[in-house]
């Protein structure tokens, strides 16, 4: 079973061909038994090389290319494999994710901090609406 639907592959390829410098991640992959996480924003023409943010759990997330084939070939304990977060979506760019993740030390911690920052901003807006 592939982690990527044909529609998802097409969207990632389209972003690869696009002119925008800073694209948003369309895919979040994760290791179900560790903190290893990948955010992918583009798929190269070869159909295997993803560009995105990789965090293997060592406290130093980095931008670069990673292979779909290598990720799908990983066999984990208990018959598990790398999974795709089916509920992942974001309006942040890959650069923003990289900045948050580097500051936080991981993509997962960045995700929590981003959610908190947005909830705090939303709570403040609810409590203190702009004057009319």
3-class SS of residue 41: strand
**119 confidence band (pLDDT: 50, 70, 90):** confident
User: CB of 99 within 8 A of CB of 114?
Assistant: no
Q: What are the structure tokens assigned to 41, written together?
A: 């924003």
Query: pLDDT digits over 51-101, tens only?
Result: 999 999 999 999 999 999 999 999 999 999 999 999 999 999 999 999 999
**Residue/partner pairs of 48-57 with CB below 8 Å, 24 or more apart:** 50/12, 51/16, 52/25, 52/27, 52/94, 53/25, 53/94, 53/97, 53/98, 53/101, 53/107, 55/101, 55/106, 55/107, 55/108, 57/31, 57/106
Structure tokens at 66: 């990673």
Q: What is the pLDDT of residue 22?
A: 83
Residue 130 confidence (pLDDT) above 70: no
Give the model confidence (pLDDT) of 99-117 as tens digits. 999 999 999 999 999 999 8
What is the phi/psi pair of residue 31, to 5°?
A: -90, 120
Q: CB–CB of 29/3 below 8 Å? A: yes
Q: How many CB atoms lie within 10 A of CB 52?
A: 24
Whole-structure pTM over 0.85, yes or no?
yes
């Amino acid at each position: 079973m592939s982690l990527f639907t044909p529609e998802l592959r097409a969207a990632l390829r389209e972003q690869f061909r696009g002119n925008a410098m800073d694209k948003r991640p369309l895919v979040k992959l994760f290791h179900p038994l560790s903190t290893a996480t990948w955010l992918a924003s583009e798929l190269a023409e070869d159909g295997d090389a993803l560009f995105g943010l990789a965090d293997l759990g060592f406290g130093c997330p980095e931008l670069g290319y990673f292979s779909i084939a290598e990720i799908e070939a990983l066999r984990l304990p208990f018959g598990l494999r790398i999974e795709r977060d089916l509920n992942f979506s974001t309006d942040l760019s890959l650069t923003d994710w990289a900045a948050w993740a580097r500051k936080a030390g991981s993509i997962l911690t960045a995700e929590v901090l981003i959610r908190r920052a947005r909830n705090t901003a939303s709570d403040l807006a609810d409590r203190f609406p702009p004057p009319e």
